[in-house]
Amino acid sequence: MKLGKIAIAALAATVFMFLTDGLWYGIIMKDSMTPMPGARPEPDMVWLVLGMLIYCIAFAYVFVMGQGSGSPVGEGTRFGIWATLFVWIPMGFFWYALIAAAPLQEYLIDDVFRLVQTIIIGIIVAYLTGMSGHRGGEVTPGKGATGGDD
């Protein structure tokens, strides 16, 4: 896999994440969410974008390493679900356990948002990395990139 395709996919995923986070947190949920204790009045955008970029670079790179033999939509969805289970859902429970500022319901709503967002990011990455159901003979039908069953 060429790093250029991974970079383009990561950049597109970062832009999508930035826009959907802005829409979700800045407009849709702005008045519905409990303010985080110690939160800045306005986010420090450099660090926010850097965090998103690092996440999306890692997401795209790991996706390419482990993609299966399915369609871009199927593989992007599968990877998005696993990424949500690996990153966002545990983080929501950690925040809930450590900070008594918001009810559990807010974290669960956020997890649903992250699930949808991350599935779409997976599909974007699948298409932009040129996924076509196989990787030049490295993956056989019904087998993942590691040779095991998907």
Residue pair 67/79 in contact by the 8 Å Cβ criterion = yes
Q: What is the pTM of this model?
A: 0.82
> Chain-wide mean pLDDT for the chain?
87
pLDDT at res. 32:
85
pLDDT at res. 134:
46
93 pLDDT higher than 80: yes
pLDDT at res. 132:
60
pLDDT at res. 131:
73
Residue pair 120/23 in contact by the 8 Å Cβ criterion = no
Give the mean pLDDT of 105-126.
Answer: 96
CB-facing half-sphere around the CA of 87: CA atoms within 13 A: 16
Q: How confident is the model at residue 1 (pLDDT cuts 50, 70, 90)?
A: low
Give the mean pLDDT of 104-130.
Answer: 95
**Residues 6 or more apart whose Cβ sits within 8 Å of residue 94:** none
C-alpha 117/C-alpha 55 separation (Å) is 13
pLDDT at res. 148:
53
Closest CA to 9 of 45, 77, 62: 62
pLDDT at res. 149:
54
113 pLDDT higher than 70: yes
pLDDT at res. 13:
98
pLDDT at res. 36:
76
Tens of pLDDT, residues 34-85? 877 777 888 899 999 999 999 999 999 999 998 888 899 999 999 999 999 9
